[in-house]
C-alpha cells in the first residue's frame, strides 16, 4: 500500500488525540503547527470532526495579506482593546439586545464593552480606560483569536 508524500507525514495518533481533546473540552476547533505542517481539527454542530492539514510555505507566510497587516497595526494602537482569549465575540448581553457600545459612545474605565465566550463561559471585556469608542473592529458572533484588536477607545 503506497502513501502519498503529504499523507505519510501526518501523525494519525495526533489527529485522534486532538479530536478527543475537542470532544472533552467542547471546543469547536484546534489548530497546531509542527515541523512545517499545520493541522486543524474542527467540529461542526453535528459533532462530526473535520481535519485539514496544510503544508506551510515560507514565501506564502512572508507575503502576509494587507488585512492581517492592518489588524496587526491596530493591535498596537494605544487605544486598542484586544481579546484576552480565543473565543466568540458578542457585542450585546443577549441576542436582539442593544449593543454594549457603539462608535461615538463615551465609556468609563471598567465598563463592559464586549463579551468573549470561551468554553461556554461568558467573559465580560472591560474598557481599559475612559474615552470615546472610535472603531469597532468585530461583528457579533465572530470567532476571535488571542490578542486580536476588538475596538479602539481614544
User: Can you give the pTM of this predicted structure?
Assistant: 0.54
Question: How much is the pLDDT for 107?
Answer: 93
Question: How much is the pLDDT for 52?
Answer: 53
One domain, residues 135 and 122:
yes
Confidence of residue 61 (pLDDT cuts 50, 70, 90): very low
How many domains is the chain built from?
2
One domain, residues 93 and 146:
yes
Range of the structural domain that residue 111 is part of: 66-153
What would the 3-class secondary structure string for 67-117 be? HHHHHHHHHCCCCEEECCCCEEEECCCCCCCCCCCCCCCEECCCCEEEEEE
CATH number at residue 146: 2.40.50.100
Question: How much is the pLDDT for 67?
Answer: 47
Using CA atoms, how far apart are residues 14 and 109, in angstroms rounded to an integer? 44
Q: Is the pLDDT of residue 137 over 70?
A: yes
Question: How much is the pLDDT for 129?
Answer: 93
One domain, residues 81 and 146:
yes
pLDDT, one tens digit per residue, over 67-106 is 444 555 777 788 889 888 899 999 999 888 899 999 999 9
One domain, residues 72 and 148:
yes
One domain, residues 42 and 77:
no
The label of the residue with cell 458572533 reads 141
One domain, residues 120 and 57:
no
Question: How much is the pLDDT for 96?
Answer: 87
One domain, residues 40 and 74:
no
Between 122 and 11, whose confidence is greater?
Answer: 122
Amino acid at each position: 500500500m503506497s502513501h502519498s508524500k503529504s499523507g505519510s507525514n501526518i501523525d494519525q495518533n495526533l489527529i485522534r488525540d486532538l479530536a478527543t481533546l475537542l470532544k472533552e473540552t467542547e471546543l469547536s476547533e484546534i489548530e497546531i503547527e509542527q515541523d512545517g505542517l499545520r493541522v486543524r481539527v474542527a467540529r461542526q454542530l453535528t459533532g462530526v470532526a473535520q481535519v485539514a492539514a496544510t503544508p506551510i510555505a515560507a514565501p506564502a507566510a512572508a507575503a502576509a495579506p494587507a488585512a492581517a497587516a492592518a489588524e496587526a497595526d491596530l493591535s498596537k494602537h494605544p487605544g486598542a482593546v484586544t481579546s484576552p482569549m480565543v473565543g466568540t465575540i458578542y457585542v450585546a448581553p443577549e441576542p436582539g439586545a442593544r449593543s454594549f457600545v457603539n462608535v461615538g459612545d463615551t465609556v468609563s474605565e471598567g465598563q463592559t464593552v464586549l463579551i468573549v465566550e470561551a468554553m461556554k463561559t461568558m467573559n465580560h471585556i472591560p474598557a481599559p480606560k475612559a474615552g470615546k469608542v472610535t472603531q469597532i473592529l468585530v461583528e457579533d458572533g465572530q470567532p476571535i483569536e488571542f490578542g486580536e484588536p476588538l475596538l479602539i477607545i481614544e
